[in-house]
A and B are shown apart, each in its own frame.
Chain A
């Protein structure tokens, strides 16, 4: 499975949040840092 590497462009993606609002990673470029947290499951 591919893993991302340091100091390379982050793969862009879009998903809907649980409110149904669109989220696109690249929308945050030039606006803020982003920390992606891949959870271990909370159910």
Chain B
């Protein structure tokens, strides 16, 4: 999350809204956002409805949810999907920003 905060303005320049979805409740989100001064949108999903809709994996052996990133273009089409294989498998910002630079919307 700190990685995203660091380059937040680069995402803004590329007209990209960052939305974080997690199973924690609203109180936990609020505390974490306040503590880390995060500038992006946080969506508590305690019923995991969106997490399931987008297929975020849970690894029982590693005791947690695997990180995932999905980029949706301005036309509402999925243009990038990354499902992490372990807790640290998160693509670097440079890779995502380069993809956003090349993104030409596909009409829905």
* A residues at B contact (CB < 8 Å): 1-11, 13, 15-20, 23, 25-26, 28-43
CB-based contact B15/A33 at 8 Å: yes
CB-based contact B23/A41 at 8 Å: yes
* B residues at A contact (CB < 8 Å): 1, 4, 11, 14-24, 26-30, 32-33, 41-45, 49-57, 64-81, 83-84, 87, 96, 100, 103, 106, 108
Secondary structure type dominating chain B contacts: mixed
Report the separation of the CA atoms of residues A34 and B77 in the bound assembly, to the nearest whole angstrom: 10
Which residue of chain B has its CB nearest to the CB of A30?
B74
> Closest 8 interchain pairs by CB?
A3-B55, A18-B29, A38-B68, A33-B16, A18-B26, A10-B72, A38-B56, A39-B22
Nearest CB in chain B: distance from A27 CB, A: 10
Report the separation of the CA atoms of residues A43 and B23 in the bound assembly, to the nearest whole angstrom: 10
A-side contacts of B15, CB under 8 Å? 32-33
| 4 additional contacts (CB under 8 A) given A4-B81, A18-B27 | A4-B55, A4-B78, A18-B43, A19-B30
If the complex has contacts A4-B81, A10-B77, A37-B69, are A18 and B44 also in contact, measured as CB distance less than 8 A? yes
B-side contacts of A33, CB under 8 Å? 14-17, 71-74, 100, 103
Nearest CB in chain A: distance from B52 CB, A: 7
Nearest CB in chain A: distance from B82 CB, A: 10
A-side contacts of B28, CB under 8 Å? 42-43
